Amino acid sequence: LANNPSARRHKFWETQPVGQFRDVADGSLPDGAIEPPTPLSEVRADPYPLPAAFEWFTCDLDDDALLADLYALLAHNYVEDDENMFRFNYSPAFLRWALRPPSFFRAWHIGVRAKESKKLVAFISGIPARIRARDDVVRMAEINFLCVHKKLRSKRLAPVLIREVTRRVHQENIWQAAYTAGVVLPTPITTCRYWHRSLNPKKLIDVGFSRLGPRMTMSRTVRLYKLPDAPLTPGFRQMELRDVAAVTRLLRSYLARYVVAPDFDELDVEHWLLPQEDVVDSYLVESPETHEITDFCSFYTLPSSVLNNATYSTLKAAYSYYNVAVKTPLQQLMNDALIVAKQKNYDVFNALDVMENEGFLKELKFGPGDGQLHYYLYNYRIRNGIKPSELGLVLL
Ligand code: NHW
């Protein structure tokens, strides 16, 4: 029973409009909203009650001091790997980027602090997004950065945070959400795997991120992962502001292939894909003859703290984001992405097996990780789920 997540009780999740494990086999349930919207006048007006020592606190990320508090909460208490060797270390600039897309809601940056000390002890966030599921473009919230201080775990604070963000999302007349988690909850629309491509194999082995392969020496390993010094595709260059319209066209027509994908407009592309140092990097191929933009690739920067290592304190990781290969073969385009990431001193390049990524992972020497990432929709059913290769959505 313990090994079978679907047999476990979920006291909170069983009360929510999400696909329930007991319904998985029931093919008669329709796709789309599980529950209709309630009239706005019936949305609860007051925040949910918190334990007496705590209060709700909306984090204004314009304020550098509050941003630093959020950064510190996450840097010390957010996601770790199963062996507690690494912890995500989202940078302050990244958090600002991730939480303030076009038309974001300040009220969806929800903190909990201790009444007396004013110390931030928990957080959850939402951002607005248009996400298409089959032919249905739905206004949703993307929920992320759910975090409860280590000292306050297992006290059922997370359900209160989730209810409160749900209430604030409902107040904007939005009734669906998308989120990912490493844990199994009722019920994933798909389950993806992370793959890792060593760029700095010696450091990755030294910190215990990877191991020397059987019958491999360090020098053979370093040689195996060696990359050219500069990108190989003619016309490969960084994306600029003037490229937003072309990149939007390329991306929109590409993402139309997937069952679940974001519905990006130019404002979204400018926000999510225009390069920002150590936050997001985007490259494209401009045809040297026609100057047409034919291909695009991008990655975001999410370092991890290395816990308990005498030599190293962080791993610099690039995460594959959105890629569109039209004229250049995808494998060649991604090889150029690896080359620029190596030039910029990243230690590892990570990618999920979403979209067409399976087509380059093995060939470009990515290895499968042990972590899984489950994708969820709130109040939206997709009968039988989808395959990772049918998913066109990457959450941060
Ligand atoms: S996933 C990253 C989540 N954060 C971390 O893993 C950081 C380290 N861990 C913690 O801070 C990306 C705590 O362990 C957390 C749980 C806070 C995770 N998603 O308070 P209790 C996201 O941010 C359920 C959803 O005692 P705790 C996405 C759990 O199943 N539910 O636990 C976030 C149980 O419910 P059950 C999760 O360890 C999406 C209950 O929480 C969860 O002290 C949020 C236990 O609560 C997770 N990752 O705190 C949903 N982890 O029914 C958005 C645990 O099983 C939904 N739980 O008894 C949509 C809302 C908007 C809708 C709008 C229409």
How is the chain split into domains, by residue range?
5-186, 191-390
**Residue of 12, 16, 146, 378 with the most ligand 1 atoms within 8 Å of its CB, for mutation:** 146
> Which pLDDT band, with edges at 50, 70 and 90, does 23 fall under?
confident
The pLDDT tens digits of the residues spanning 52-73 come to 999 999 999 999 999 999 999 9
CA of 115 to the centre of ligand 1 (A): 23
Give the pLDDT band of residue 1 (cuts 50, 70, 90): very low
> Beta 176-181 vs 190-198: how paired, if at all?
unpaired
Name residues whose C-beta falls within 8 Å of residue 49's C-beta, 6 or more positions apart in sequence: 160
Closest CA to 274 of 142, 97, 88: 97
Q: Which CATH class is domain 191-390?
A: alpha beta
Residue 12 predicted with pLDDT over 90: yes
Q: Which of 386, 124, 106, 142 is nearest to 264 (CA)?
A: 142
Between the CA of 366 and the centroid of ligand 1 the distance, in Å, is 30
Segment 337-362, tens digit of pLDDT:
999 999 999 999 999 999 999 999 99
Q: Is the ipTM above a cut-off of 0.95?
A: yes
What mean pLDDT do residues 236-250 have?
98
Q: Compute the mean pLDDT over every residue in the chain, rounded to the nearest whole number.
A: 96
Would 5-186 and 191-390 be classified into the same CATH topology?
yes
Ligand 1 atom with the smallest distance to the CA of 147 is 11
Residue 337 C-alpha to ligand 1 middle, in angstroms? Answer: 33
Residue 6 pLDDT: 63
The stretch 138-152 carries a mean pLDDT of 98
From the CB of residue 172, how many other CB atoms can be counted at a distance below 10 Å? 17
For the chain, the farthest-separated pair of C-alpha atoms sits apart, in whole angstroms, at 67
Token pair 């209060």 in the structure block, residue? 55
Q: Is the pLDDT of residue 2 over 60?
A: no
Q: How far is the CA of 50 from the centre of ligand 1 (A)?
A: 16
CA nearest ligand 1 atom 22, residue: 144
Specify the ligand 1 atom closest to the Cα of 182.
Answer: 1
Residue type, 334: M
Angle, CA of 364, 368 and 370, to the nearest 5°? 160
In percent, how much of the chain has pLDDT > 90? 95
**Long-range CB contacts for residues 290-294, cutoff 8 Å, separation at least 24:** 292/246, 293/243, 293/246, 293/247, 293/250, 294/235, 294/326, 294/327, 294/328
Helices (H) and strands (E) in the chain, counts: 9, 17
Task: Determine the distance separating the centroid of ligand 1 and the alpha carbon of 158, expressed in angstroms.
Answer: 5
- The rounded percent of the chain whose pLDDT value lies above 70 is 98
In DSSP terms, 350 is beta-bridged to 196, 319
Residue nearest atom 35 of ligand 1, based on CA coordinates: 12
Q: How far apart are CA 150 and CA 84, in angstroms?
A: 13
Query: Closest ligand 1 atom, CA of 78?
Result: 7
Atom of ligand 1 nearest to the CA of 174: 64
The residue ranking higher by pLDDT, 4 or 64, is 64
Of 387, 364, 367, 357, nearest to 375 (Cα)? 387
Q: Whose CA is nearest to atom 54 of ligand 1?
A: 158
Q: Which atom of ligand 1 is nearest to the CA of 8?
A: 55
Q: Which residues of 308-330 are buried (b: 16+ CB within 10 A; e: fewer)?
A: eeeeeeebbbbbbbbbbbeebeb
**Residue 253: is its pLDDT beyond 90?**
yes
Task: Give the closest residue (by CA) to ligand 1 atom 57.
Answer: 158
Q: How far is the CA of 118 from the centre of ligand 1 (A)?
A: 23
392: CB partners within 8 A, 6+ apart: 254, 255, 257, 258, 259, 260, 261, 262, 354, 355
What is the residue with the minimal CA distance to atom 43 of ligand 1? 153
Catalytic position from the list 302, 330, 393, 396? 396
Is residue 315 annotated as a catalytic residue, yes or no?
Answer: no
pLDDT of residue 5: 60
Q: For ligand 1, what atom is nearest to the CA of residue 145?
A: 23
Average pLDDT over residues 300-309: 97
Query: What's the fold here for domain 5-186?
Result: Aminopeptidase (3.40.630)
| Stretch 312-330: mean pLDDT | 98
- Span from the CA of 187 to the centroid of ligand 1 (angstroms): 14
Give the residue, by CA position, lying nearest to ligand 1 atom 28.
144
Amino acid 110: pLDDT: 98
Question: In the predicted model, what is the mean pLDDT of residues 216-232?
Answer: 97
Q: Please tell me the residue having the least CA distance from ligand 1 atom 50.
A: 162
Is residue 6 within 8 A of residue 185, CB to CB? The reply is no
| Pocket of ligand 1 from Cβ distances under 6 Å | 10-13, 77-79, 141, 143-148, 153-159, 162, 165-166, 169, 175-177, 179-181, 183, 185, 378-379
